[in-house]
Amino acid sequence: MFDKILIANRGEIAVRVIRACKEMGVRTVAVFSTADAEALHVSLADEAYCIGGPRPHDSYLNEDAIITCALESGCKAIHPGYGFLSENAGFARRCRECGLVFVGPSPEVIEEMGEKDAARAVARRAGVPVAPGCELLETPEQAVEEARRIGCPVLIKARSGGGGRGIRRVDEPEAAGDALVAAKAEAAAAFGDDACYMEKFISPAHHVEVQVLADADGGVVSLGERECSVQRHNQKLVEESPAPCLAGRDDVRERMCSCARELAREVGYVGVGTVEFLYTDDGSFYFLEMNTRLQVEHPVTEFVTGIDLVKWQFRVAAGQRLPFSQDDVRASGHAIECRINAETPDFLPSVGEITMLHVPNGPWMRFDSALYVGAVVPPYYDSLLGKLVAFSQTREEALRKMRSALGELVIEGVEDNSTLHLDILANREFLSGNYHTNLMEHLYE
């Protein structure tokens, strides 16, 4: 195992990684921006170094500063967390060239799975169902022709990046040309890559993802699935495991998990990753993408499986083999996670100093966060304040526990979206377990 690692991130995920390292006896080095000088991850790490100004480009995306800091402090590995440099193949390659272990898959795998058209090709080779679509689009005229062939509605999607950018829905073939031009412009501005492709828009659908864990010796296991269908602007709000839409559909669950494992084997994956699918009520599912990093929602999988994903990231990155097989993986109970964001009821960012904080506690409750009284929520980064996670033996009990926790949670100094989560958990469609990715569009109907 590594004796010392650097965490190239901030906030709750940096705190989460530091805590795992402390339990493993691994020394930690934190990096921080000038805006995060008093952040919790800075005080929890064994060492901490300022690497730049408040804006991400000057600090948490400053590859030179991060690698220099790791080398000069004697680190053997870098954990990227999620976001920032976590899916940056160039950074992973630079780590390798400098003799540092990047805690994640190889740069080649990150590159291949990060380009969505290439990822679709990998899925097809692995025998994983892929939504009808086409290869990269070159001209508006080609977009119109392909929209007619595939059948509307379709989505024009950027090859690179994520977060809902570079995506346009097309309901009539004649509109595909203009949509391609707009998607290319947005993708070029956001990712520096204007390549786009087209696929069938599948709706209504459930967003279901399968957690995989793989070692360098070919061992691959799936650790159950999560449902992430509660989304706003393609950003997840609530995640739960097991997926309620698969209740009574163990055959579909096994096929989906098997597909995720086969895809990981096909691409030579090593580490923790997530294979995402769109699932329809008729039992069909289609490959969406693969996230080559730790997911924000990993705690729900940890609750239902009892497996610490961050610790296993380090173990397989250090060359350890998985000591268990797929038959040894057992999931039980139900876990649900609510992302608590610093935002107003109008979904505008909220910043400021935390003046009061009360976190709900009790058996099988978890709040992954970097908050404390006096902590400052700056305007430069993601709005995530923390992740409230509840676990119980049934979904109904887990939901009751989560509603109680949301009502008890107190965060003063910034506004947060806990009331929105209470509204979601009271929604009839959500409570039924048969909700889709369009739930937020008619939440209050």
Q: What is the DSSP letter of 130?
A: B
In angstroms, what CA-CA distances link 156 with 85, 112, 194, 199, 366? 26, 20, 12, 7, 38
Alpha-carbon dihedral angle through residues 89, 294, 256, 258, given to the nearest 10 degrees: 80
| Residues in Cβ contact with 99 at an 8 Å cutoff, skipping those fewer than 6 apart | none
Task: Select from 231, 223, 296, 297 the least CA-distant residue to 260.
Answer: 223
Partner residues linked to 227 by β-bridges: 208, 240
> Per residue, what are the HEC states of 225-276?
EEEEEEEECCEEEEEEECCHHHCCCHHHHHHHHHHHHHHHHHHCCCEEEEEE
Task: Select from 228, 196, 188 the least CA-distant residue to 209.
Answer: 228
Dump the DSSP string for 400-440: HHHHHHHHH-EEESS--SHHHHHHHHH-HHHHHT---TTGG
Contact criterion met (CB below 8 Å) for 79 and 95? no
Phi-psi region at 76: left, alpha or beta (left = phi > 0; alpha = psi -120 to 50): alpha
226, 293, 339, 395: the active-site residue: 293
> Cis omega (within 30 of 0) on the bond before 153?
yes
| Residues in Cβ contact with 258 at an 8 Å cutoff, skipping those fewer than 6 apart | 222
Task: Select from 76, 109, 113 the least CA-distant residue to 95.
Answer: 76
For the question of residue 165 being annotated catalytic, the response is no
Active-site residue set: 293
